[in-house]
Amino acid sequence: MTSLNRRKFLHYSAYGAGLAGLAGVMPAWARGTQGGTLARKGSDVLSGEHLTMTVDDALFTTGSRRGPAVTINGTLPGPLLRLKQGQDLTVDLVNNASEGTSIHWHGMLVPFLMDGVPGITMAAVERGETFRYRFPVRQAGTYWWHAHTLQEPMGHYGPIVIDPIEPDPFEYDREYVLMLTDWSPMSPHEIMRKLKVGEGYFNYQQTSWTDKYPLTGEQRRMWAQMRMMPTDISDVTGSTYTFLVNGHGPEDGLELAYNPGERIRLRIINGAAMTFFNVRIPGLPMTVVAADGQNIRPVETDEFQMGNAETYDVIVEPKGAEAFAFVAEAMDRSGMGIATLTSRPGSKAAFPPLRDPPLLTMADMGMSASDPGADGMNGMSGGSMHGMDGMSGADKGGNMAGMDMSGGMNMRDTSLLPPNVKAGPGLDMVSMNPVDRMGDPGIGLADVGHRVLDYRQLVAAKPNPDDRLPTRLKEIHLTGNMERYMWSFDGQKFSAVTDQPIRFAYNERVRVKLVNDTMMAHPIHLHGHFFELVNGAPPGHQPMKHTIVVQPGGSAQFDLTATEPGDWAFHCHLIYHMHTGMFQVVTVRPLDGGDQ
């Protein structure tokens, strides 16, 4: 195990500087030079114990949009890796592209030096170089891989399916992997530059006095006084993004064939850079059987919202029509990815129109009147419990100027924060009552008139391996300043805390509470581990995930057993939030107890 020494901190600092996304020499595609071959849509299949994955600059076209892309083995998405639980895997990553690269094996339990995060576990693989990944495949399920650089939103991603040693507890006749992504002809560097200049640059759904949104004049004045917009749902929208299913845009006519009477397993992966998707198949119920690669007790629903980097497996049984529309609608309703489930080639299903854009609510401002989820700490004993107690005196001298609302409330009242959260220009909102929002179906789905999945419906299919109570609570605040486009944990972006990793002891059982002090939903991902959602599931059956969506102004909790020694990335999976500072390192001390 390497130690967290000065050299490693310099690596961290270099990575933190790279998170700005604008440092150094930009590759040719970022400067507007569009060279390379045309990417093929869809994924080839790679199987076996020794694979080669080659990165190239490319061009991509869908509909009327054409621009720079990155391919792996010539396709976008890159190849589907079809693996077997228990096998050993060797992957040679060959970089022929103009920018440094890597592969992170999202959701897979690998040694930390194989985790693929430049500046944390490895150096970036530069043009002309090859890096060899080697690790055992310890699990089964639906996962994905992607670059941990700004190649990711350009197409450097692909699906993983790991077949289990023991058969799954559900039957099906056919399966499809559906990878949902967003792609723009604008380079990631330019997108980030525009967001830094004006965070609403891509939001064409802003409110005004003349729009048709159902807001009263008083509500419009309130939002204006707070310098916030109830339509500020997504940072990057369909104004520049085309939403893809397996690399196919809405005009590409992707068809998924089936025979009448079949049960079909859909392995759905949200590999988007910045987009939450609302997934539904109008007229066809979906039975959710796995979340983030882990089997759950089957639950039938009509729609679910997927945060970036989440995966859901569903079973469907098409009946009563020749074709059904698969719809992945962007959360802000600015576009959709589509495919057709069809029992006869060429048979079409009617795709629904985009629904009206959703509006943020008082709950999204952290002003919920009650706490339906409570604190989730009842019955815990032992260890040191640091929670919300004792916060009233926290940093009262550091309060930022804010707008006093009715009842004396202040959206920037930093006296509500614990002492470890830094008040400053990177924090423009404090959640006044961050209640547990595990039961929320997601922004815009509370009143759609049909069944919608939420985290409280997820129950692990098998008992969890660790039934110990957590010994302490670790509270982490998700913070940001939307106008300045600054994102962070506990009020500090990664470049300010490279020498202050989040530390867990090996095999320590910790409850982590995430408090969202922003008005955006954040999909938070911890590398190298699964954690158990504290969602009210029966004892021992909390669902295990690697990514958790924390709703605006609310909180969410998970239990973590720190069984994987090493240094692990912990970050928001909205790529421009991560690259502007909402990133940290989790350090798990090794068995010998030595310093890392």
As a whole number of angstroms, the distance between CA 153 and CA 69 comes to: 8
Q: Does residue 482 surpass a pLDDT of 90?
A: no
**Predicted pLDDT of residue 274:** 97
Could you tell me if 90 and 50 are in contact, meaning their C-beta atoms sit under 8 angstroms apart? yes
Q: Specify whether the CB–CB gap between 566 and 595 falls below 8 A.
A: no
Q: Are 173 and 158 in the same domain?
A: no
**What was the pLDDT predicted at 390?**
29
pLDDT tier at 365, thresholds 50, 70, 90: low
The answer to whether the CB of 478 falls within 8 A of the CB of 515 is yes
Q: Would residue 261 count as lying in a domain? A: yes
Q: Note whether 530 and 508 are same-domain residues.
A: yes
The verdict on 344 and 373 lying in the same domain is: no
Who has greater pLDDT, 220 or 158? 158
Q: What mean pLDDT is predicted for residues 520-546?
A: 97
Identify whether residues 32 and 88 lie together within a single domain: yes
Preceding omega of 118 cis (within 30 degrees of 0): no
Q: Nearest-CA neighbor of 12 among 583, 595, 591?
A: 583
pLDDT bucket at 363, cuts 50 / 70 / 90: low
Domain boundary among 162, 187, 205: 162
- Enclosing H/E stretch for 190: helix 188-197
- Do 404 and 338 fall within a single domain? no
Mean pLDDT taken over the chain: 85
pLDDT-derived band at 378, boundaries 50, 70, 90 = very low
Last residue of a domain, one of 162, 183, 202: 162
The pLDDT score that the predictor gives to residue 118 is 97
Round to whole Å and give the CA distance between 503 and 12. 16
Q: What angle do CA 306, 348, 157 make, to 5 degrees?
A: 35
Residue 596 lies in a domain: no
pLDDT at residue 218 tops 80: no
- Does the residue 450 lie in any domain? yes
Q: Are strands 40-41 and 75-76 parallel, antiparallel or unpaired?
A: parallel
**223: confidence class by pLDDT, cuts 50, 70, 90:** very low
Amino acid present at 568 = W
pTM of the model: 0.87
Q: How confident is the model at residue 212 (pLDDT cuts 50, 70, 90)?
A: low
* Residues 460 and 577 both lie in one domain: yes
Helix (H, G, I), strand (E, B) or coil at 224: helix
How far apart are alpha carbons 274 and 522 in whole angstroms?
10
Structural domain of residue 146, as residue ranges?
A: 6-162
Q: Which of 162, 190, 224 is the last residue of a domain?
A: 162
Residues 442 and 400 in one domain: yes
Stretch 203-208: mean pLDDT, rounded? 57
Q: Are residues 219 and 259 in the same domain?
A: yes
How many whole angstroms separate alpha carbon 275 and alpha carbon 575? 10
What's the CATH code of the domain at 226?
A: 2.60.40.420
419 and 548, same domain (yes or no): yes
**pLDDT average, residue stretch 232-241:** 91
In a domain, 291, yes or no: yes
* Residue 137 and residue 204 share a domain: no
Assess whether pLDDT exceeds 60 at residue 371.
Answer: no
Residue 511, beta-bridge partner list: 473, 559
Give the model's pLDDT for residue 11.
Answer: 44
Give the type of residue at 197.
Answer: V
| Closest to 68 in 3D by CA, of 188, 203, 244 | 188
Across the range 108-114, mean pLDDT stands at: 97
Which stretch of DSSP H or E encloses residue 12? helix 6-18
Same domain, 581 and 457: yes
Instruction: Please check whether residue 593 lies inside any domain of the structure.
Output: no
Mean pLDDT of 543-567: 97
Say what the alpha-carbon torsion angle 535, 539, 540, 543 is, to the nearest 10 degrees: -20
Report how far residue 260's alpha carbon sits from residue 171's, in angstroms, rounded to the nearest whole number: 16
Q: What average pLDDT does this structure show over 180-208? A: 82
Number of domains in the chain: 3
pLDDT at 103 over 50: yes
Same structural domain, 156 and 180: no
Nearest to 270, CA basis, from 549, 38, 535: 549
